[in-house]
A and B are shown apart, each in its own frame.
Chain A
Amino acid sequence: MYKHTPFDRHVIRQRAAQFRDQLQRHLGGQLGEEEFRALRLQNGWYIQRHAPMLRVAVPYGEISATQLRALARIAREYDRGYAHFTTRQNVQFNWIPLARAADVMDELAAVDMHGIQTSGNCIRNITTDAFAGIAPDEIVDPRPYCEILRQWSTLHPEFAFLPRKFKIAVTGAVEDRAAIAWHDIGLQLRRNDAGEVGFRVHVGGGMGRTPVIASVAREFVPWQQILVYIEAIVRVYNRYGRRDNAFKARIKILVKAEGQKFFEAVETEFHNILERDEAGSAHLIPQAELDRVSRSFRVPVGVAQPAAANDASMRDAPGVPLAHQRWLARNVHSHRLNGYRAVTLSLKRPGQPPGDATAEQLERAATLADRYSFGELRVTHDQNLVLPWVRTGDLRALWEDARAANFATPNIGLLTDMIACPGGDFCGLANARSIPVAAAITERFDDLDELYDIGNIDLHISGCINSCGHHHSGHIGILGVDKDGMEWYQVALGGSDGSALSGAPLPAKVIGPAFAADEVPDVIEALIDTYRRERSGAEHFIETVRRVGVESFKSAANAVRRATAREFAA
């Protein structure tokens, strides 16, 4: 994990002091609501349906046991005892009173955490693959570049008031596990024919009202130039992105509207920065800086590779409980180091919304990290936690401890490992609740044998078109819509986040008019039954959908309508 310097701490501390001043002026009546709004958003504070929400940054998903304990303390002392992990690898609190906001920022600063630019029309948290640095298919570790990008984008004075939010994702592996094509800028680390490291740069992806897959701006930008290239993109966006309509203000709209002219403008700006600007080459990254930052991301002290790969799976050993075998199969992942594994702590279990953890669970996760993973964890983009440095010899003991903490549901990648935003229960933007839908589906599919038979499937649930639940990229996507003041759910099929299983990134296709809340579990069941009927060999749900098309799935789903049957027939 990145080691904060005194300067990094200064920035976070002073930012907290700046926010405290702004909050005091606001509470004292000297800073109006509208003006305070943009300032508090850039420190992560939303005013929400019931209470202010704080989004804490977890830079590219890396978090320490110490930081988790601080989050637990905050949950306990300022909130209602729990926290929520998001699809951008951040963590959210839902109940902290605004009057205590500055104190919370100080508590976070004490453990090198903050809410800087987690909201607002600025460059947001840089996200990456939860297996960065440890994946067997890794080409280049993205984390040092994520950290350099994070610093460059933090409090960048020119880009604090863009037309709209700006999200960057980075992947450094053969498989894209960071959904880069769905981001405003997606960066694929790669090597050219000479073996030099650079980025394939994608621009203009996004979800929301108009799902768009990003286009490739450049096949190869040498790593030294990446800050300058991104500066060019964001400057073109800041100058020419639409400001008249908030729903048409993302860079994806500009890219689609301008087409080739956009890419030419970026190349021209990039050229101009380097060739014409005073100090234009100032942000070319020196080797010394890459080296400095990279040092933080070496293998933790104490991680030692065993000489031989005695990595035979423990699954088939005699006397291993079925539950442990299942956990090994689903929640334990291969690692680039011999003798090590990455282990997912599942935050998807009955009785808790997806991605939630109580204060006690946060503390237990911290203990597991200290005991089994050198104090380090990752927040995944699908709202789980990963322990990245687990010795294979510790897997049995870890499983026992994880079970005791309710982290060992062996469902990673399965139907109940769904993505769900907090939805209408918490979010002022939502049209419908997503948590009850997630709970109903989890309850309907509580049989592990059945879940295993269904196999890998991405179910994504969003409570509104803002798409925080990534419904567009789900194999099954559920979108809450508000019609006549009631909650309805649109169901879509066949989306892809760009991962190996899902195939090329693609928005899901809506299969018919919206369903009522109580029809949704029946719809999911009908879709799953159709898959089981139509599947060929060992193919997964998404593969069947791609092979046979959506018609039979549509018919099956529409056949279970009750409340919406008349509307559908009309």
Chain B
Amino acid sequence: MRFVHPHRGPWRTVSGDDGPLVSITPQPHLLLSLAEWHAVRGHWPQGMPVGVQFANDLDVEVLEVDLPRLALVALEFPKWTDGRAYSQARLLRSRLRYAGEVRATGEVLVDMLPLLARTGFDAVALRADQRQDAAERALGYFGGHYQGDMLDAQPLFAKPPGWAEHAARPPVREFVDAGVSI
């Protein structure tokens, strides 16, 4: 899982204070709203990295035809308890075979990490007050899961003999000793 900081890294949005820009000059690593992308996709240069910030109340299927050209799809958690983006991510990966970056944005809290990882997110922009080391620790609790997911498609019942026992072995001593306090 990659941890993204909005003010670092190459991606930029274009929307100004006055609302969406009338015209957008293509440049690398623009993160566009769906409307902005629709306005420019006809002439976006081949191979220039572009991303879409995609609202959680839209159907990801509308992106299907564009996905091969998108380096980044940023999904949203307007509230961390609004779980629609988990379905969006899963569909992007599993149904639409999207291989670019799927990023979690909005109210992204450390305790969401296992769910994000397992539904197909590979990058998160944590809320400002959330600590990355706590998020990484949150990923380490379970050696395996009952149901298949975007990290491991096979549910437990399809695993080879011995897999479950190995997954259930006691946690590594070092992890236990490190503790889990922030």
Q: B182: CB under 8 A from chain A?
A: yes
Contact present for B86 and A285 (CB under 8 Å): no
B83 at the interface (CB under 8 A from A): yes
CA distance A121 to B82 in the complex (A): 10
B105 lies within 8 A of chain A by Cβ? no
| Of listed A39, A272, A282, residue having the most chain B CB within 10 A | A282
Report if B114 contacts A (CB, 8 A). Answer: yes
Within the assembled complex, what's the spacing in Å between the Cα atoms of A88 and B114? 28
When the two chains form their complex, are residues B146 and A25 in contact, meaning their CB atoms are under 8 A apart? no
Contact of B86 with A14 in the complex, beta carbons under 8 Å: no
Contacts of A155 in B (CB 8 A): 114, 142, 145-147
Find out whether the CB atom of B119 lies under 8 angstroms from the CB atom of A157. Answer: yes
Instruction: Say whether, besides A10-B143, A157-B118, A28 and B181 are in contact (CB < 8 Å).
Output: yes
Q: Is A513 an interface residue (CB 8 A)?
A: no
A25 in contact with B82 given A6-B165, A152-B146, A235-B87 (CB within 8 Å): no
- In the complex, are the beta carbons of A278 and B153 less than 8 A apart? yes
Interface residues in B, total, Cβ within 8 A: 46
Q: Establish whether residues B97 and A243, one from each chain, have CB atoms under 8 Å apart when the complex forms.
A: no
Find chain B residues with CB under 8 A from A282 CB.
148, 153-155, 158
**Interface contact A279-B153, CB-CB below 8 Å:** yes
Which B residues, 118 to 167, have Cβ-Cβ distances below 8 Å to chain A?
A: 118-119, 134, 137-138, 141-149, 153-158, 164-165, 167
In the bound complex, what is the Cα–Cα distance between A117 and B163 (angstroms)?
A: 25
Among A38, A238, A283, A285, the residue within 8 A (CB) of B87 is A238
Closest B residue to A11 by CB, please name it: B142
Residues of A within 8 A of B157 (CB): 285-286, 288-289, 292
Q: CB < 8 Å: which of A151, A156, A239, A288 contacts B84?
A: A239
Total contacts A to B, CB within 8 angstroms?
A: 126
Interface digits, A121-160 against B, CB 8 Å rule (1 contact, 0 not)?
Answer: 1000000000000000000000000000001101111111
The reply on B101 being an interface residue by CB < 8 A is: no
In this assembly, does B103 line the interface, its C-beta being within 8 Å of a C-beta of chain A?
no
Question: How far apart are B125's CB and chain A's nearest CB, in angstroms?
Answer: 17
- In whole angstroms, how far apart are the Cα atoms of A277 and B149 in the complex? 12
Indicate which residue in B141, B143, B148, B154 contacts A18 across the interface (CB closer than 8 Å): B141
Judge if A466 is at the interface, Cβ distance under 8 Å: no
A228 CB → nearest B CB, Å: 11
Chain A interface category by residue count: 35 or more
Known: A7-B156, A277-B94. A157 touches B111 (CB 8 A): no
The answer to the question of B80 belonging to the interface, with a C-beta cut-off of 8 Å to chain A, is: yes
Cβ contacts under 8 Å, A338 to chain B: none
Residues in A neighbouring B24, C-beta threshold 8 A: none
Q: Count chain B CB atoms within 10 A of each CB in A5, A158, A243, A280 and give the residue with the most.
A: A158
B168, CB-defined interface residue at 8 Å: yes
Contacts of B93 in A (CB 8 A): 278
Known: A7-B168, A35-B80, A282-B148. A277 touches B95 (CB 8 A): yes
Known A-B contacts A35-B111, A157-B119, A160-B86; the reply to A10 vs B167 at CB < 8 A is yes
Bound-state CA distance A24–B111 (Å) is 13
The 3 closest A-B pairs by CB, nearest first: A161-B83, A10-B168, A279-B153
Q: Can you add 14 more A-B contacts, CB < 8 Å, to A17-B180, A279-B154?
A: A6-B164, A6-B165, A25-B181, A28-B181, A151-B147, A151-B156, A157-B118, A158-B86, A158-B87, A160-B115, A161-B82, A279-B148, A282-B153, A283-B148
B contact set with A: CB distance below 8 Å: 59, 80-84, 86-87, 90, 93-95, 97, 109, 111, 114-115, 117-119, 134, 137-138, 141-149, 153-158, 164-165, 167-168, 171, 180-182
Q: Could you list some 25 contacts between A and B, CB below 8 A?
A: A5-B164, A6-B165, A7-B144, A7-B165, A10-B142, A14-B141, A15-B141, A35-B80, A155-B114, A157-B86, A157-B117, A157-B118, A157-B145, A158-B86, A158-B119, A159-B83, A160-B86, A161-B81, A239-B59, A278-B97, A279-B148, A279-B154, A285-B157, A286-B158, A288-B157
